[in-house]
Chains A and B, each alone.
Chain A
C-alpha cells in the first residue's frame, strides 16, 4: 500500500476526477449535449437523496442506482416534452432540470430534519466536500476513472463515427442505440463519481468547460479528448492545491475557476493566433 497522506489522496482523487470529466466533456460537447449534461447533473439529486433515505448510508453503489434512475427519468421527460409539446429541447431541459433539482432540495430538507440527518452531511452533495472523502471512496474514484477513460480511448474509432455522423455509423453496422445507452451510462457514472467531491453544480461545469477550452487546439478527436482530459486534470490539481493552502477556500469552486481560466486563456490565444495569421497574410500579399 502506498504511504500517502490524506491530502495526497484528495489530490490524486480530484486529478482522476478532472481527467475523467474532461474526457467525458469531449463526448458531450461533440454530441451537442453540453446542456444535457448540465440537466442530468442537476437531475440526479432526488435519486441520490431517495437512495440515501432508503438505505441510510452514503454508499456509492446505492447512490449510483438512485442517480441513474433519476437521470434516466429526466432524460425520458426531456425527450417526451420535446416530442409532444413542440417546445425546443433547451426549454424542456430547463424545465426538467429545475423541477428535479427542486425536488431534490425539498427531499434534502426532509432528510436533514430526520434524526442524525445533519451529521450525515448529505448537503455536501450540492457543493461537494473533497476534503472529507473516505479513502475507499477515493480509491474507487481513481479506479473507475482509469477504467472509463481506457474504455473510451480503446473504442475511439466507434466514438468518432458515432459522434460525427450517427446515420452513417448505423450504415457502417455500428449499434447506435447501444452506444446511446453506453454514452448515458458513462455520463451518469461520471456525475455520480464526481458529486461527492465537487458537488452537483460544479460537476455540471466540469462536464462542459474542458471540452470548450480544448476545441481551439485540436484537429482530431483523440487530441480533443487528451487535451480536455489534461485541462480537467490540471485545473483539478491546481484548484485542490490552492484550497489546501488554508484560508478555507472550497475545493470544487476553486477547480472550476481554474478550468474557466484555462478556457479564457485558450479563447484569447486562439483569437490572437487568428489575428496574427491574418496580419501575416496581409504582409505577404
Chain B
C-alpha cells in the first residue's frame, strides 16, 4: 500500500506561537495523482505545504514521502513557492533562477557548466520563455515569472511536485501552459500537489482534492469529494454560494 502512495500524512499539527494553524490532518495521496488543496484565506494551506517540506516546524504528526522520511527522499521532491514570497527586485536573471533548480546536483565548489545551461534552456522552452533567458526577472509579467519558477521545478526531475498558488495573478496563456505541463508530468507518472484558489476549475484540472480549513474537512477524488455539502463546511465563515462554486480570490 505504501508503495503506491506518494505522500502519507498522519495526524499532522502545526502551530505558531500557541496559535494552531493546521490541526488533525491525515491523508494518503496516491502516486500519479494531481491534487488541489482548497480552503478559505487563512485556512493554513500554505503552512500545510511548508510543513510537509520541513520549512516550518511541526508540532506533532508523521509525514512520509514514498514511504520514507523527507530527509531520505528530498531529492525527489520539487517545490514552487508562492509568488508573494519572493523579492522580484532581486538582481537575478531568468536563466540563473532556473539553474537554481540544479543546485543540489553540484558539489559546493563546482560551477554550472554548458550541460546545466542546456537543461535550463530546454525547460524554459517547455514553458515558452526561451526568449527571455538573460532578462532581469523584474522585467517579466506575473505570468512569465510564474513560468520561470515552473521551469526551475522542471529541471529538478522530481517525482513529487508541490506548487503554492501557481495560478494566482497570471494571464490565460500562462495558466494554459502551466496546466499543460502539470498534466504532462502526471502522464509521466509524477505526483502533483497544488494549492489552488479557483473553485471553478477544480473539476477540469484535478483528479483529487483536499478541502482544508485548519482541520481536514474532506479528502478524496474530485467526483465524490468536491460536493456542495463539503464546500459549505469548508467555507463556513465566508459567503460561498453553495452549489455554484465561485472563484475564491
Contacts and interface: CB of A to CB of B under 8 A. Distances in A.
Do A and B make up one complex?
yes
Most chain-A CB neighbours within 10 Å: which of B53, B89, B92, B104?
B92
A150 interface: no
Interface string B100-135: 110110101101100000000000000000000011
Contacts of B134: 219
A161 B103 contact: yes
B86 interface: yes
B136 to A, nearest CB: 4
B74 interface: yes
Interface string A196-231: 000000000000000000010011110110000000
B136 A219 contact: yes
Interface residues of B, number: 31
A167 B55 contact: yes
Given A158-B108, A164-B87, A219-B136, A170 B55 contact: yes
Contacts of B93: 219-220
Given A165-B86, A168-B100, A221 B91 contact: yes
A32 interface: yes
B112 A168 contact: no
Contact of A223 (B81, B85, B89, B91): B91
A192 to B, nearest CB: 27
B90 A161 contact: no
A221 B95 CA distance: 13
Q: Say whether chain B's binding surface is mostly helix, strand, loop, or mixed.
A: loop
Given A165-B81, A219-B134, A219-B136, A173 B91 contact: no
A172 B156 CA distance: 9
Interface residues of A, number: 26
Contacts of A170: 54-55
B79 interface: yes
A172 B55 contact: no
Contact of A155 (B50, B108, B136): B108
A157 interface: yes
A220 B112 CA distance: 15
Given A165-B81, A171-B74, A220-B96, A157 B103 contact: yes
Nearest to A211: B91
B91 A172 contact: no
B145 to A, nearest CB: 13
Contacts of A215: 89, 91
Contacts of A172: 100-101, 103-104
A158 to B, nearest CB: 7
B162 to A, nearest CB: 10
Instruction: Pick the 4 closest A-B CB pairs, nearest first.
Output: A172-B103, A219-B136, A173-B104, A224-B91
Interface of A: 30, 32, 154-155, 157-158, 160-161, 163-165, 167-174, 215, 218-221, 223-224
Given A161-B100, A224-B91, 16 more contacts: A157-B106, A157-B111, A160-B96, A164-B92, A164-B97, A164-B100, A165-B86, A167-B81, A168-B81, A168-B100, A169-B103, A170-B55, A174-B103, A215-B89, A219-B135, A220-B92
29 contacts: A30-B87, A30-B91, A32-B87, A154-B109, A155-B108, A157-B99, A157-B103, A157-B106, A157-B111, A161-B100, A164-B90, A164-B100, A165-B81, A167-B50, A167-B79, A167-B81, A169-B103, A171-B55, A172-B100, A172-B103, A173-B104, A215-B89, A215-B91, A218-B91, A219-B135, A220-B91, A221-B91, A221-B92, A224-B91
